[in-house]
Amino acid sequence: MAGFTTRAIHAVHNLEKNAIVPPIYLASTFIQPSDGTPGEYEYQRGSNPTRTAVETTLAQLENAQYSYVYSSGMGASSAALGLVRNGETLLMGMPSYGGNYRFATIELPKRGAHVKFIADFTTLSDEDFSDNVTMVFLETPTNPTLKVSDITRISQIAHRNGAIVVVDNTFLTPYLQRPLELGADITVQSATKYLSGHADLLGGVASTNNPELAEELHKAQLILGGILPPADSYRLLQNVKTLGLRLERQQENAQRLIQAIKKHPAVDCILYPGSASAEETKIQSQQAQGQGAVFSFILAEGHDIQKFIEALNIFSFAVSLGGIESLVCLPATMTQGAYTQEHLDMFGVHPRLIRVAVGIEDYEDLLEDFTTALNAS
């Protein structure tokens, strides 16, 4: 099999007039055969050649048979979480992205479904599946505490009890971690983040090797209509070609920055994949090819968060991650702002916890900017 970046560039060869990149098909509808048989494409909501091109590419990168793109990361997560039906129970790993939390706590109850939060998947056992559990949904590493869970072990337990496993792989992408190869049934990602990588489009992707689940994921596009438009599909198709190059640089910058600031007096503790324990370090090394480019830290008591933020010049204070630019945010009031105070406390989203998404800028500039801000705090 060709390498990751080679596949990202050459997965589709739908060229016209010897152009090196595929065209954008903006058509909302397509002419149909006069004999009444369906054409390959009928209406943009159902399918579109440009969207097919990016879905084909993403499927190859995931080593999946099926990938479907949506108008946002929550479109992909909602398509997967929406598989939990009336009377069924979802096991959701915590902490989880605030949008997924909203779906589990607001939307699922409307549908007569239930959710049970799991703070530590190392304790997962058959006993957790007693209440008609049909799905386990997890992020590894978690947002924003970067805790690591064993995808293979969780999948084995879930499948033994008739449940499917959905992994949000936004932080690592298929470049560093491929949950379907580890036993997961569906993987979802916010394509807004690393897959696109330039903070200029919203998108999401869900992938699977299960044809029945694939049909349900496609129905979410067709029925709910949250599809990725052709122009955005094209941009995502082009941007994902540089994912490996970007993520290598971002990961290197993040690792160097972690080592440089971890003993700074303004840093109370620093969190990154594998930092919680030797067991998590081992799991991360077994199921992923790196730590990614996101870390979090708790600003020490006596230091002022606002002064830290205001002293930053290169790092921007904004939600999101995965772009070429470096960002910081306060999860307790931003990405996890939908949490109840009880859940913020219960799942380790500390009020002084700052999440850092590292970009591709020159490392020396990032270090100077970050150190200056820590000193100013």
Residue from 97, 101, 234, 339 carrying the catalytic annotation: 97
The answer to whether residue 97 is catalytic is: yes
* Selected catalytic residue, list 7, 45, 153, 352: 45
Burial of residue 131, with CB atoms counted within 10 A of its CB: 0-12 exposed, 13-18 middle, 19 or more buried: exposed
Residue tagged active-site, from 147, 193, 235, 355: 193
What is the rounded CA–CA span in Å between residue 356 and residue 272?
Answer: 10
- Residue 291 CA, chain-centre distance (Å), reads 14
Q: Is 256 considered catalytic here? A: no
CA triple 81-66-187, angle to 5 deg = 40
304 is catalytic: no
* 362 is known as an active-site residue: no
Could you say which of 41, 101, 147, 168 is catalytic?
A: 168
- φ/ψ of residue 70, rounded to 5: -130, 175
Please list the active-site residues. Answer: 45, 97, 168, 193
